[in-house]
């Protein structure tokens, strides 16, 4: 389901055709809209909207433009309404030093007071920040807003600013500007981890292409999702799922998402083979705040059995829309070599090629050359190299086997590249990794192909 996490449906622009606007949104797969209160008069209208439409929820707060009108009366109203069933957040609140419609010291004070309410009532915060990023982050930090988290809506900052928002426990709100021709947002979005964003319209403002200059509306959040999918190289369904789970996790407190054994991503079926690994990479996705990958919980409690893996893949492989079956996981699949070979044999009737995403320690783990066994069962191996030399590998990947691991990994690449397997070797394009040297190393191995993988701030999500 698509969700518009930031809309202003109480604006006069929607007065004449609100029913049609909401019908159009539902017709485009937008199953939920968070309507954002921004002033005193709008609070009741937002609440009425949420009461009147099943798919509309509310966030209440005073916009920084209106900060000079904040008083005890408004605060009492906010307190009275904040725990109503469909009120999910406090906002939009924050600072706007671009238009400066309220004095800055009052904006800061009102921002702090509303953060205090959010903390008191345990509600996430919807943040407006315009030319005030440093003060916004400082105040959120000083007030301990990480405890409830929130969304920095209509994010338009740099990569470094996005990193700071995420470190604060907040989500990035991506809206129409990501579709604009000269926007720098796509560069930032291309690095976002999939558990770090939600989608929004900010309607009636900021319409995406091709509706610039016209009224924006929740149905257009699909255009934002399509653009983000293109940037990240995944399907629109992947973006829809990721953004929905991120939103529900934050706004509805839906955290009990069962772990997945098999899941669809980028048109492939991935098999989550194990949570055990012989490396302890500094950038491993397992080390981050939540283990959600495009909305999937991959944090296995126990490794799945062969029967469970086969059944989970068969449940997904109902049509002909998949390109390959990939053994991966938050761990090293060749730790369970015997089992993945059994799964591949039992699923061979599906007619799909098999790939293993591996750290290349398979020979070390299994104390033999496993390439001939792989050759009979899978078509492709994708090996994470991530270091051009032993010392860097020791520092970044911290292998259990110590210095032997890098030599064994290179030996595995040589053997796999010389076999019938299609052997791809990858390195993350993060600052600590010299991808040029990795490429040179791989290009010196006959048959091996090199590919850089996008680094998503702090993880190897690709």
The residues of the shown chain that bind ligand SF4, judged by CB under 6 A, are 277, 279-281, 284, 286, 330-332, 359, 384, 397, 460
Q: Nearer Cβ to ligand SF4, position 62 or 428?
A: 428
Closer to ligand SF4 by Cβ: residue 231 or 285: 285
Minimum Å gap between C-beta 398 and ligand SF4 is 8
Show Cβ contacts of residue 181 under 8 Å, excluding neighbours closer than 6 positions: 209
Q: Specify the residue, 273 or 341, whose C-beta has the smaller distance to ligand SF4.
A: 273
Task: Write down the number of H helices and E strands in the chain.
Answer: 16, 17
Least distance from ligand SF4 to the Cβ atom of residue 462, Å:
11
> Closest CB to ligand SF4 among 282 and 449?
282
**Cβ 284 to ligand SF4 shortest distance, Å:** 3
Q: Do the beta carbons of residue 12 and residue 204 sit within 8 Å?
A: no
Task: Name the residue nearer to ligand SF4 (CB basis): 280 or 348.
Answer: 280
**Nearest-5° angle of CA 448, CA 452, CA 457?**
150
Nearer Cβ to ligand SF4 (62/430): 430
For ligand SF4, give the closer residue by CB, 229 or 460.
Answer: 460
CB of 81 vs ligand SF4, minimal distance in Å:
45
The nearer residue to ligand SF4, 5 or 384, going by C-beta atoms, is 384
Q: How far is the CB of 427 from ligand SF4 (least distance, A)?
A: 12
Other beta carbons within 10 angstroms of residue 437's beta carbon come to 14
Q: How far is the CB of 295 from ligand SF4 (least distance, A)?
A: 19
Angle at 105 between CA 141 and CA 136, to 5 degrees: 25
Q: Which CB atom, from 74 or from 330, has the smaller least distance to ligand SF4?
A: 330
Sheet holding 325-328, edge to edge: 262-265, 268-272, 325-328, 354-358, 380-384, 422-428, 449-453
Q: Provide the β-strand partners of residue 33.
A: 4, 56
Q: Where does residue 338 rank: exposed (0-12), middle (13-18), buried (19+ CB within 10 A)?
A: exposed
List alpha helices for 233-378, DSSP H.
236-247, 306-316, 337-346, 362-366, 371-375
- Quick one: DSSP state of residue 386? -
Complex with ligand SF4: residue 179 or 274, whichever CB lies closer = 274
Supply the minimum distance, in Å, between the C-beta of residue 135 and ligand SF4.
Answer: 37
| CA distance linking residue 378 with residue 374, whole number of Å | 6
Q: Taking Cα atoms as reference points, which of 186, 182, 199, 188 lies closest to residue 165?
A: 188
CB of 325 to ligand SF4, least distance (A): 18
Q: Which helix (H) or strand (E) holds 112?
A: helix 104-121
Helix axes 390-397, 404-417, angle to 10 degrees: 110
Cis (ω within 30 of 0) for the bond into 301? no
The span from the CA of 365 to the CA of 408, in Å, is: 10
Name beta bridge partners: 270.
263, 326
Cβ 457 to ligand SF4 shortest distance, Å: 14
End-to-end CA distance of the chain: 23
Q: Answer whether 248's CB lies under 8 Å from 254's CB.
A: yes
Q: Which tokens is 191 given?
A: 């690095």
Cα–Cα distance measured from residue 66 to residue 340, given in angstroms and rounded to the nearest whole number: 60
- Min separation Cβ 331 and ligand SF4, Å: 5
Nearest approach, Cβ of residue 461 and ligand SF4 (Å): 10
Helix (H, G, I), strand (E, B) or coil at 128: strand
Task: Give the residue with the Cβ less far from ligand SF4, 191 or 453.
Answer: 453
């Amino acid at each position: 389901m698509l969700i518009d996490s930031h809309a202003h449906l109480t604006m006069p622009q929607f007065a004449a055709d609100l029913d049609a606007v909401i019908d159009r949104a539902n017709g485009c797969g937008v199953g939920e809209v968070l309507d954002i209160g921004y002033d005193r008069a709008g609070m009741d209208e937002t609440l009425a909207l949420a009461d009147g439409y099943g798919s509309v929820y509310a966030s209440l707060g005073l916009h920084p433009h209106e900060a000079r009108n904040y008083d005890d009366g408004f605060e009492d109203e906010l307190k009275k309404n904040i725990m109503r069933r469909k009120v999910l957040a406090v906002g939009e609140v924050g600072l706007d030093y671009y238009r400066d419609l309220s004095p800055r010291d009052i904006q800061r004070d009102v921002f702090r007071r509303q953060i205090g309410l959010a903390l008191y009532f345990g509600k996430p915060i919807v943040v407006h920040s315009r030319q005030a990023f440093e003060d916004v982050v400082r105040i959120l930090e000083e007030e301990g807003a990480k405890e409830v988290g929130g969304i920095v809506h209509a994010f338009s900052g740099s990569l470094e600013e996005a990193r700071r928002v995420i470190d604060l426990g907040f989500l990035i709100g991506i809206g129409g500007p990501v579709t604009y021709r000269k926007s720098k947002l796509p560069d930032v979005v291309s690095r976002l981890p999939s558990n770090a964003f939600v989608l929004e319209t900010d309607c009636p403002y900021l319409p995406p292409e091709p509706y610039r200059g016209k009224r924006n509306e929740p149905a257009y959040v699909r255009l934002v999702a399509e653009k983000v999918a293109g940037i990240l190289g995944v399907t629109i369904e992947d973006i829809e799922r990721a953004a929905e789970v991120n939103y529900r996790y934050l706004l509805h407190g839906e955290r009990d998402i069962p772990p997945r054994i098999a899941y669809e991503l980028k048109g492939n079926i991935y098999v989550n083979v194990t949570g055990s690994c012989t490396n302890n990479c500094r950038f491993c996705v397992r080390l981050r705040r939540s283990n959600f990958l495009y909305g999937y919980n991959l944090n296995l409690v126990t490794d799945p059995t062969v029967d469970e893996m086969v059944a989970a893949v068969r449940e997904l492989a109902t049509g002909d829309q998949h390109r390959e079956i990939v053994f991966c996981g938050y761990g090293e699949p060749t730790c369970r070599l015997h089992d993945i070979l059994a799964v591949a044999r039992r699923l061979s009737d599906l007619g799909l090629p098999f790939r293993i995403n591996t750290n290349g320690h398979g020979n070390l783990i299994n104390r033999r050359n496993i390439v001939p066994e792989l050759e009979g069962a899978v078509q492709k191996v994708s090996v994470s190299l991530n270091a051009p030399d032993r010392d860097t590998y020791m520092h970044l990947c911290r292998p259990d086997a110590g210095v032997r691991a890098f030599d064994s990994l290179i030996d595995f690449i040589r053997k796999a590249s010389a076999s019938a397997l299609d052997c791809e070797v990858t390195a993350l394009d993060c600052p600590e990794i010299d991808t040029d040297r990795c490429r040179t190393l791989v290009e010196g191995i006959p048959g091996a192909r090199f590919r850089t993988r996008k680094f998503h701030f702090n993880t190897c999500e690709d």
